[in-house]
Structure 1
Amino acid sequence: MPPAPAAPSPAATTAKAAASAACGQWLRLQQAGEGRLYGLDGAQTTLRILVYRGGRLASLGHNHVIAAEQHAVGQIYLPKDGLANAGAELGFRLDQLVLDAPAWRTAMGGDFAKILSEADIAGTRANMLKALDAAQFPVVTAVTRTVEGGWPRPVLKLDITLHGQTRTLDLPVESSRPEGDQPLRARGRLVLRQTDFGIQPFTVLGGLLAIQDPLVVELDLTARPAASCQPMPSA
């Protein structure tokens, strides 16, 4: 009989509970006239993860562009005044990630410019899902702990849950408060290390060819005024 899946860490359980409860509170505040809720527009949002090759034989490998935007869900709450009580949540499933679309690689240029074959992409996808234990931990979430600073460059302190573990990272963003029914737009970038989440970066040939530990996450989102909450992804 196979071993039972490991229970999620207390931090991961807490983060998931916060993600499911947060929007309900924001919606009640909107109904009371205290602020505005915005739902993520997946079709107008770019969420890219940049993965870099490493090891002594790095020249034999490839950098990768991974995207979640078409399947990411979430919401942002802005109070009427200031940002002290603002919040955001976002989530996506690892098995819905899209890898190395030719248009993305061409646009990136440089060490990303080479177009990969369908076989290369399929192999990379299988290795990625295995390294991330995606069958056991299929969902990634990010939930604000606090929002600091102010317009147009606030800083989101995020509880990010990946691989069943939660770590707190800062996400500086560039954004302006929307007026009326205008959409909210924000851009930001953060770096996370796989080993901080208990993930061993993929290697072959005894580490001569590897994936570097840091992953660069680039976010360019659009969110629109909303009257309901988008359900967060679940396992």
Structure 2
Amino acid sequence: MKAMPVAAIARAVVVALAAVLAACGSAPKQQAAPEAAPARAPQGFPVDVYERLAAQGEAVYRVGPADALVVLTVRRGGSLGRLGHDHVIASRSMQGFVAPAQGRADLYMPLAELTVDEPALRTEAGLDTQPTASDIEGTRTNMQDKVLRVQEFPYALVQVRGVDAKTQPASANVSITLLGTTRTSTMPLILVTTQDALRAIGMTELKQSEFGIAPFSLLGGALQVEDAFKVRFDIRARASMSP
């Protein structure tokens, strides 16, 4: 996985952070559709680790439904790219736990709950085309059935280790598992701490091919989806007595 240069991401996330603070610390859920019910954790998800840490008196924070917003911007390419559309894919249902003293977090994202082309998110991304409702539904169906194969791989998993918060932006080793393939990189992020919550804001760039996904392509690549895509995230973890 390829991370954006630290200087560039520092500028971008500081702007994002300023907007967050100007909004009086509003959480991502204020932008969201009605809150979804918690998704069942994947088999083998390390809830027991956080239960043990909480029992030992360590602070454990929970990321609940609608506490996180993850947005993927996927761009069209090729000589006939003007005939296609860019797309914005979003998750508002990432969940998991954070143990700050351990410098670790474990999160999971239910892929069946991803949204496609929410109007507000398209506007924020500065996209210059507007797909029809039929286009959006077709994209969502193709993404879930053929690209992500959500029946076989219902979750994306995120492991965060080795958080270094001594500087801003902070950095962390982030492992993302998608379609059974795990990729790890060092990722810069802005950390915001309040009395009862932690917040991580950042951006990075990933490639579909890193997870074994062949980007959509027609006519010998004249109409295609670009391999690289941008990811931005705004994740809040709230203090919890125990998992």
Q: Match of 1:20, as an amino acid?
A: F
Aligned to 1:40: 63
- Residue 164 of structure 1, CA deviation: 1.1
Separation in 2, partners of 1:36, 1:113? 45
Runs of 5+ in structure 1 lacking a partner?
A: 1-15, 80-84, 230-235
Separation in 2, partners of 1:152, 1:30? 28
Identity %: 35
Aligned to 2:183: 167
Aligned to 1:94: 111
**Contact 2:73 2:125 survives alignment (8 Å):** no
Runs of 5+ in structure 2 lacking a partner?
A: 1-41
Aligned to 2:228: 214
Give the structure-2-normalised TM-score.
0.75
User: In the alignment, which of 31, 36, 50 is matched to residue 26 of structure 1?
Assistant: 50
**Contact 1:49 1:67 survives alignment (8 Å):** yes
- Residue 152 of structure 1, CA deviation: 4.0
Q: Deviations over 1:85-111 (max 9, x none)?
A: 2111111122211000112112322xx
The reply on whether 1:128 has 2:143 as its aligned counterpart is yes
Q: Deviations over 1:20-54 (max 9, x none)?
A: 22x42233223322x31111143242111111111
Aligned residues: 201
Give the structure-1-normalised TM-score.
0.78
Separation in 2, partners of 1:51, 1:143? 23
**Contact 2:61 2:237 survives alignment (8 Å):** yes
Aligned to 2:123: 106
Q: Classify 1:158/1:141 alpha carbon distance in 2 versus 1 (closer, same or farther; 3 Å).
A: same
User: SS at 1:220's partner residue?
Assistant: strand
Aligned to 1:147: 163
Superposed CA RMSD in Å reads 2.0
User: In the alignment, which of 55, 76, 83 is matched to residue 60 of structure 1?
Assistant: 83
**Contact 1:172 1:188 survives alignment (8 Å):** yes
- Residue 127 of structure 1, CA deviation: 2.3
